[in-house]
Amino acid sequence: MNCTPSEAPCLKECPNDAIEVLGGAITINEEKCDKCKQCVDVCPIGAIHI
């Protein structure tokens, strides 16, 4: 909830389009996620745990 969706680094970084915006919140679609952890590396507040 820290980043506005249009500016969230994780959304831009994910190679699988697994990070989605649902109701204004950023969520990870586990069916698309391959656990590469690229989003973890770019999250400015360490909010993503794989």
Binding site for ligand SF4 (CB under 6 A): 13-14, 16, 18-19, 28, 33-39, 50
Report the candidate in 30, 7, 31, 11 with the shortest Cα–Cα distance to residue 19: 11
Minimum CB–partner distance for residue 19 and ligand SF4 (Å):
5
Minimum CB–partner distance for residue 3 and ligand SF4 (Å):
14
Minimum CB–partner distance for residue 11 and ligand SF4 (Å):
9
User: Using a CB cutoff of 8 Å and minimum separation of 24, what contacts does 25-33 make?
Assistant: 25/1, 26/1
Nearer to ligand SF4, 13 or 47 (CB): 13
